[in-house]
Structure 1
Amino acid sequence: MALWGGRFEKGVDAFTQEFGASLEDDKAMAQEDIKGSRAHAKMLAKQGIISNDDAAAIDAGLEKISGQIADGTFAWDVNDEDVHMAVEKALTADIGTPGARLHTGRSRNDQVATDIRLYAKRLCEELLEGNVELRRTLLSVAEKNLGVVMPGYTHLQHAQPVLFSHHMLAYFWMFSRDYTRLVAARTAADANPLGSAALAGTTYPLDRDYTTQLLGFDHAISNSMDAVSDRDYLLDLDYACAVSMMHLSRLCEEIVLWSSTEFGFITLSDSYSTGSSIMPQKKNPDFAELTRGKTGRVYGDLMALLTTMKSLPLAYNKDLQECKEGPADAAKTLLDCMAIASGMLETMTVNAKTMLAQAGKGFTAATDVADYLAKKGMPFREAHEVVGKLVLYCEKHGKGLEDLTAEEFQASSPLFGDDIAQDLDPAGIANARVTYGGTGEAAVRVQLAEAKERLAADEGR
């Protein structure tokens, strides 16, 4: 019979027991459960609710179980409903009556809430480390390829030449914002529900500040009903993971495009590519595509939890058992995908000549030609029209702006001089943009320094 079975005359049907169990999902936070129980027992003894001898026996027994779980020798019983019951049952079987006193002043509701918060903090810390590693790789790629010029795009059409480093640093800043969201998720989880009991608190003289200190929480939660029913911090974690996966998906979409024959901007390492079962020539960007695809499952994890929570009255409801699997999946998926992205970036070959050749195509110098006229005194709107007509002329005659003679330029405006040629060089166009935040090498060097400073600060946390 279940540990809560005193109220019931009949045992639980095998199927309903299996349906209601969460042991497999719970195993991931077994160490958090033990940590919470050890703190609870220590507090009970401090308050004189159980004896010091009982507390010592409980602590030693839980430490033993912790070691068994860590080395894989703990005997999980498939009939146990959850990790909390599994650990308590094993403890009582090992040390006897003191083990049965562990649950004094505690409900599974605040026990579960404590475990999940500790587990969420651990997941956030792992993700923060993964995020820092990915950004470190992006910085390295940007530094190594500082002089590489590529076409910048809007609407997936050639727009203006940019430095490849500038493009990579755009992702650095995206993932820096993701770091901030993960910190916020960890902060949201950093509150102690232990001592709230089922929903109303308890008549035992618990010291919640003491367990807060022992468990490394920032503060105890003020309202017992909110403490056992709140899962907002998991939504924060899911959301942070979803946004970061969106950024990874954007990056991987570009990796897929850039590694194609049509672009040829990069060559992926064999370690991050696969072949075809029928076409011997193929080298497929499967891992970039998988990362892009896995974004959907993380979005699903967020939507699933939002939907689970939307109609729950206070306080605890069994629906909340469904809150654990999604965030754990989202965190693992993101962590794996960040590692994959970091590996792809670190090992890919950047084809600088191909990028530069493409940076000069598609009339990417058009804006600078219009600026040339504006600097000569022509209103920019008129200059825009003049250059638009030049582009149309080029298209009709199968030319690029770089192919036009001085006479052809001057036919469209007498303001054009022989010096227009210097405004048609892709590298010169990119590097001329030296305002703060621009793509010119001088501006990118400033940006690199700021990125290093930001990364160092985040690493220091």
Structure 2
Amino acid sequence: MEKLWAGRAQAATSKIADDFNSSIHIDCRMYRQDITGSLAHAAMLAAKGILSQADLAAITTGLEGILADLDSGALAIDPTAEDIHMFVEAELTKRIGDAGKRLHTARSRNDQVATDLRLYLRDACASLQGQIKALLEAIYEQAKANQDAIMPGYTHLQRAQPVCFAHHLLAWAAMLQRDVTRLQDAVARMNYSPLGCCALAGTTYDTDRAMTAAALGFDGVCQNSMDGVSDRDFCVEILSALALVMMHLSRFSEEIILWSSWEFKFVELDDGFTTGSSIMPQKKNPDMAELVRGKTGRVYGDLMGTLTMLKGLPLAYNKDMQEDKEAIFDAIDTVSQCLGVFAPMVRTMKPLKANMYAAAQKGFINATDLADYLTCKGMPFRSAYKLTGQLVAKCIAEGKVLEDVSLEEYRSLSELFDQDVYEAIDLAACVARRTSEGGTGPASVTAQLQQLETFLAKM
């Protein structure tokens, strides 16, 4: 294939250099965006009298035919092309002749690739938001069905206070909702058209950048042509948002791994989302959650690689920027794959409520409520705290829980204890009394479910 820059160079590029320079194997996925941008550019050129109507008709028919053939598989992308832009232009010229050579008037590959990438990432972010929504829906279903399941809440991985399983799950929903809004914010900042910035300085042609921006669904145009072609902030911002998505999925994975272990046994994962062992027949491994946890580092690497690639670049475009696509595409693919398996894994996991409740009892996580009980009866909190701690130590030594202590034993420690102590330390009552907004009490959990329902309805 003849190079687009043929004329200046007197000798052919080395095959080794050609292979090293080529990006067709990476940016070929942007063929739809490249053709869409070219159609808008051609329409603008014709509207400004730079292209004839006959040329516009030929270019439009040619590009639409290329798109249809690529979609159907009738046309294969030439792996020897340097990039998707050169491939489309060469194929168009082959089909319609000289009219195809006029398409690139008043633009450069620099603004073309920047436009294609923004269009592609806009579509990809919309798709990822849809996948996060599917996971949020799975969390919503599990939370709504398990508002009565009491489990220990943890700090330092030590049993701390009782919570309902729904409340715990809704903490992950809160994080994922922020992930959605971060992607939306990143897209809003990205949604400005660099098309027409050309190589770096704009063009001498009388173009209408606002026309192409509107046709492509952008909110406006990049105001500085040098920034328009060299800006990759949007890649970094989206990568950062995706790294946070993976961090949340990784933390959630860690809990699922713990919960499904025999040491916890709070949930049972569906067989469809576990694997077995080649030697140990009893094993049921949470490999999907472990892989998500492992792939998180990959997305972190994509973010750090992009930041490092950009950190020393002068204005305007530099070939280093070709590295942006491999990183951002890898991150998108990885996050999409992880979300694709995570939502059904959460939807099909079975909470084991009896095990959760037993763990809550054995963890003495109602000790704070016992201390509060004494405080409400007039004992200073520090005194109540000390007495409760002594009682917990006694229960541990005797192999029983606070609920097993007789009223006589309680009253031997303080006359403030009465029959109502058992209501005070009942785990369900402990949960129900936490009525503060955002807490684990029933009214609060209902409100959190309603908020999530509203959020999902607006997506």
What range describes the TM-score normalised by the shorter chain of this pair? over 0.9
Task: Quote the offset at 1:339 in angstroms.
Answer: 2.0
Match of 2:214 in 1: 213
Match of 2:155 in 1: 154
Match of 1:354 in 2: 355
Contact 1:276/1:282 (8 A) holds in 2? yes
The separation in 2 between residues aligned to 1:412 and 1:319, in whole angstroms, is 74
The separation in 1 between residues aligned to 2:129 and 2:370, in whole angstroms, is 45
What SS does structure 2 have at the residue aligned with 1:191?
A: coil
Match of 1:331 in 2: 332
The separation in 2 between residues aligned to 1:152 and 1:171, in whole angstroms, is 14
Task: Quote the offset at 1:436 in angstroms.
Answer: 1.4
Task: Quote the offset at 1:360 in angstroms.
Answer: 0.9
Deviation digits for residues 11-33 of structure 1, max 9, x if unmatched? 01001100010001111111000
Match of 1:124 in 2: 125
Paired residue type of 1:441: P
Task: Quote the offset at 1:432 in angstroms.
Answer: 1.8
Deviation digits for residues 324-357 of structure 1, max 9, x if unmatched? 1111111121122112111111111111111111
* 1:21-170 mapped onto 2 (5 Å cutoff): 21-170=22-171
Deviation digits for residues 401-438 of structure 1, max 9, x if unmatched? 22222232223322111221122222221122122111
The separation in 1 between residues aligned to 2:383 and 2:79, in whole angstroms, is 78
The separation in 2 between residues aligned to 1:124 and 1:26, in whole angstroms, is 17
Task: Quote the offset at 1:94 in angstroms.
Answer: 0.5
Deviation digits for residues 9-60 of structure 1, max 9, x if unmatched? 1101001100010001111111000001111111000000110110110011
The separation in 1 between residues aligned to 2:6 and 2:382, in whole angstroms, is 81
Task: Quote the offset at 1:154 in angstroms.
Answer: 0.8
Contact 1:134/1:341 (8 A) holds in 2? yes
Match of 1:187 in 2: 188
Contact 1:248/1:291 (8 A) holds in 2? yes
The separation in 1 between residues aligned to 2:56 and 2:383, in whole angstroms, is 84
> Which stretches in structure 1 are left out of the alignment for 5+ residues?
none
Match of 1:404 in 2: 405
Contact 2:152/2:363 (8 A) holds in 1? no
> Structure 1 residues 454, 78: CA separation in 2 closer, same or farther (over 3 Å shift)?
closer
Is 354-363 or 37-46 further displaced after alignment?
A: 354-363
Answer yes or no: is 1:307 the counterpart of 2:319: no
The separation in 1 between residues aligned to 2:76 and 2:263, in whole angstroms, is 56
Identity %: 51
Paired residue type of 2:48: Q
> Which stretches in structure 2 are left out of the alignment for 5+ residues?
none
Paired residue type of 1:249: S
Answer yes or no: is 1:286 the counterpart of 2:290: no
Contact 1:124/1:185 (8 A) holds in 2? no
Paired residue type of 2:267: I
Match of 1:268 in 2: 269
The separation in 2 between residues aligned to 1:333 and 1:5, in whole angstroms, is 38
The separation in 1 between residues aligned to 2:149 and 2:399, in whole angstroms, is 27
The separation in 1 between residues aligned to 2:26 and 2:113, in whole angstroms, is 12
The separation in 2 between residues aligned to 1:378 and 1:61, in whole angstroms, is 86
So what's the TM-score if we normalise by structure 2?
0.98
Paired residue type of 2:308: T
What SS does structure 2 have at the residue aligned with 1:430?
A: helix
Contact 2:28/2:77 (8 A) holds in 1? no
Task: Quote the offset at 1:396 in angstroms.
Answer: 3.2
Contact 2:434/2:441 (8 A) holds in 1? yes
Match of 2:197 in 1: 196
The separation in 1 between residues aligned to 2:124 and 2:189, in whole angstroms, is 13
The separation in 2 between residues aligned to 1:272 and 1:246, in whole angstroms, is 20
